[in-house]
Structure 1
Amino acid sequence: MHTTDVPVGGVEPAVAVADEVPPRRLPRFWLLELLGAILLPPALAYVAVRWNEPAVQAWRTVCIAITMQALPFLLLGTALSGAINAFVPARVFGRLLPRRPALAVPVAGVAGVVLPGCECASVPVANSLIGRGVTPAAAFAFLLSAPAVNPVVLTATAVAFPGSPGMVLARLLASLATAAAMGWLWLWLGREEWLKPAVRHTGHVPGGSRWREFRRGFQHDFLHAGGFLVLGAMAAATFNVAVPRSVLDTFSGSPWLSVLFLAALAIVLAVCSEADAFLAASLTGFSPLARLTFMVVGPMVDLKLIALQAGTFGRAFAIRFSAATAVVAVVCSALTGGVLL
C-alpha cells in the first residue's frame, strides 16, 4: 500500500511505504569520529587526573553549562520534529507556504518567530519539514531565522542593551536578511547530492499508531543529535579555557578585525541565542557593529550547530552551508549595522 503526500515548493512527493519501512541509518561524520577516537581518551584521562585543578574545573563548568543550556531546546526541537512527522499532514504546509520556492523562502524565514528556542531545536525541525515535502531552501531559511528572530531572543537583546532599540532592530533585520539570502542561495547553487539526511520514514502510515511514530522519531532524533551536541560543547569549552584574555584585547582596537574576531568567537563559543546578547553586551571594548555580528553569526553558525547539521544532513552539506552562512551573516551584519548603529 502506498500513499503520496502533496509536494510543497517544487519538492518531489514524499512516499510512505506501509509494508516495509527502511532502517534508519545514521550519516557518518568521519572527521568528528576520528578526532573523538584520537583525542577523547587522553582528554578524559587528563581530566580524571587533574579533576580539581582550576583550568579543568573551568573547562568542566563551561562544557556542562553549554550542554545543559542547549538540552531543553534540543528536547523541544526533537519533540516538534516527531510531532510534525507523525501528526501534521503535508497539505498543511501547502496552505502555509507559497508554491514558488523563491517566495516560500522569505515566508519561512519570517515564520521563525514561532519557535522560541535555540539553534539546537531548529535542526531536527528543519529536517522534519523537508521530510514532509517542504522545499529545502525554505526549511533552511527557517532553520537560520528561528533561533535569531523569535520573541525570547529579541526580548533578551532589549534587556541586554537597554536604551538601544536600534540594536534589537538591527539584529532582527540582519538575521532575517541572512536567512532569506541563504535560502535563495541554496535555490541557486544547492545540489541534492550535498544533502544526505538520515533515512527515515516520512509521513503517517495508514493503520499505524501516530503516537508510536512520534515516540520512535523523537527517540531517534534526540539521542542522535544529543551526541553531536556534546562534541560541540566540548570543543567550545576547550576554546574558552585555552584562549587568554589578552587575545581579546589585541583584536578590539581594529574596527574590521574586531568584527571578524567576534564572528569567529561566536562560532567557537557556541552560546545559545537566548544568552548571547548578555555576553555581547559584556564585550564593552568592541564596537556595536562587532557585537551585532557576534549576535547574528552565533545562532546560525557555531561548533555544536555544525556538528548537528553534519549528523542530520551530512558533512558535505554542513561544511558548505556553514561556511557560506558565516560569510553572508557577516556581510548582512555590516550592512545593517552600518545604517542603524
Structure 2
Amino acid sequence: MVLQRPLVDFVHSSPTLATAATVFAGVFVQAAPFLVLGVLISGVIAAFVSPRVLRSVLPRRESVAVGVAGLAGAALPGCECGAVPVARRLMDQGAPSAVAVTFLLSAPAINPVVLVATAVAFPGEPKMVVARLVGSLATAWVMGLLWSRFGRTEWITARLGSHDVDPGGSRWAVFAESARHDLLQAGSYLVLGAAAAAALNVLVPQWIYEHLAGQVILAILVMALLAVVLALCSEADAFVVASLSMLPLLPRLVFLVVGPAVDVKLIAMQAGSFGRGFAARFAPLTFVVAIACACAAGYLVLGGIR
C-alpha cells in the first residue's frame, strides 16, 4: 500500500498516537475471534434451530418458565442483536411476554462465548466472570418477574412478519446471510468500541480516572451511561472495559451488565420489534435494575469495591 509507510511513520512520530494504536489493535485482536465465533454460532441457530425448540421446553407456570428462560439464554451464543428477533419469534409462537423478555436479556449476557471472552479479558480475575453471570442472570429474572406482574400485552404494539426459514430455500444460504449481517453489524460496533477504548486511554486526563476511582458511585453511573451510549457487542465489550484498568472492578462490572441489557441500538431494535410503548417503559426500568443487580453481584462475588 502506497500510504502504509507514511501512516506508520506518522503514528510512530507521536507517543500519544502510538499508544492509541496499540490499545486499539490490542482490543480488536483479542475480541475478534470471539466475535467471529459468536456470529457463526448465531448463524447456525438462525438457519437450523427453530424457536419452537425453546418454546417446547418451557413450563406452563409463568414464574417457573421465567426461571427456565433465563437459564436457556446460555443456549444462544451471540450478541444482543440476535436475541431481539428470537424473543419476538418466541412471543409470536405463544410464549408469554415475560418469558420472551427474560430470554431477551439473558441470552447475550450469559452465553458461553461471552463468559469465555470475559475470562480472557480479565486474566487472574475469575470472579469477574462469576459476577457478570450472577448480575446478568439476576437482571433477566427480575425484569421477567416484574413484566409478568406489571406488564401489559397492549404495550407491545409492533407486529412483524415471520422470520422462520423458508422451507423451499437453502438453510446454508440463510446461515451465510445471517452470519454476514451479524458480522458486519457487530464488527462495526467492535471497531467503534476499540476506537473508544483507545480514545479513553489517551485523551481523558489521568486525574479524571483517579477522581472516578475515588468516587465509586459516580464511576458506576458514568460507566452505566457509557455502556448505553457505546452500544458494544456483548462478545467484545469485556476487552474494551478491561483496558480501563485504572478504574475499580465494580464500575467495570456495571458496564458489562448494563451494556447487553440496554443500549441505544437495543432501544431502537426493541422499538421496531415490540413498539415504542414497550421500549419507552422497558429500557429505563432495565437500566435501573441492571445497575442494582450488578452492584449486588459485585458486593457478593467481588467482595465489595475493588
TM-score by length of 1: 0.66
Cα deviation for residue 331 of structure 1 reads 0.4
Q: Indicate how the Cα distance of structure 1 residues 157 and 78 shifts in structure 2: closer, same or farther if over 3 A, else same.
A: closer
Choose 72-81 or 96-105, whichever is displaced more.
72-81
Aligned residue for 2:245, secondary structure, equals coil
Provide the rounded CA distance (Å) in 1 between the counterparts of 2:277 and 2:194.
25
- Counterpart of 1:211 in structure 2: which amino acid? G
Once the two structures are superposed, the pairs formed by residues 114-263 of structure 1 within 5 Å of their partners are 114-201=75-162, 210-211=167-168, 245-246=204-205, 250-263=211-224
Whether the aligned pair in 2 keeps the contact of 1:272 and 1:299 (CA below 8 Å) is yes
Q: Percentage identity across aligned positions? A: 46
Q: Which runs of 5+ in 2 are unaligned?
A: 1-19
Query: Partner residue of 2:292?
Result: 331
Give the letter for the 1:130 counterpart.
M
Contact 1:240 1:269 in 2 (8 A): no
The aligned counterpart of 2:257 is 296
Q: Is the 8 A contact 1:77 1:124 kept in 2?
A: no
Q: CA deviation at 1:273?
A: 1.1
Farther off after superposition, 209-218 or 95-104: 209-218
Shift in Å, 1:251: 3.4
The answer to whether the Cα contact below 8 Å between 1:229 and 1:308 also exists between their aligned partners in 2 is no
Q: 220, 225, 240: which is aligned to 1:279? A: 240
Question: Is the 8 Å Cα contact of residues 228 and 258 (structure 2) preserved in structure 1?
Answer: yes
Tell me how far apart the structure 1 counterparts of residues 76 and 107 of structure 2 sit (CA, whole Å): 6
* Alpha-carbon spacing, 1:217–1:155, altered in 2? closer, same or farther (3 Å): closer
Contact 1:77–1:125 (CA<8 Å) still a contact in 2? no
Mapped pair 1:266 → 2:227: yes
Q: Scaled by the length of structure 2, what TM-score is found? A: 0.72
Contact 2:190 2:233 in 1 (8 A): no
Q: RMSD of aligned C-alpha atoms?
A: 3.7
CA distance in 2, matches of 1:89, 1:156: 26
Q: Single out whichever of 311-320 and 191-200 deviates more from structure 2.
A: 191-200
Equivalent pairs, count = 269
Residues 194 and 240, structure 2, Cα contact 8 Å, conserved in 1: no
Alignment-derived partner of residue 307 in structure 1? 268
Measured after TM superposition, the shift of residue 284 of structure 1 is 1.7
CA distance in structure 2 between the aligned counterparts of 1:109 and 1:320, rounded to whole angstroms = 20
- Contact 2:117–2:235 at 8 Å: present in 1 too? yes
User: SS in structure 2 opposite 1:271?
Assistant: coil
Question: Equivalents in 2 of 1:145, 1:250: separation in Å?
Answer: 33
One-letter amino acid of the structure 2 residue matched with residue 245 of structure 1? V
The CA distance in 1 between the partners of 2:39 and 2:85, in whole Å, is 8
TM-superposed CA distance for 1:237, in Å, is: 10
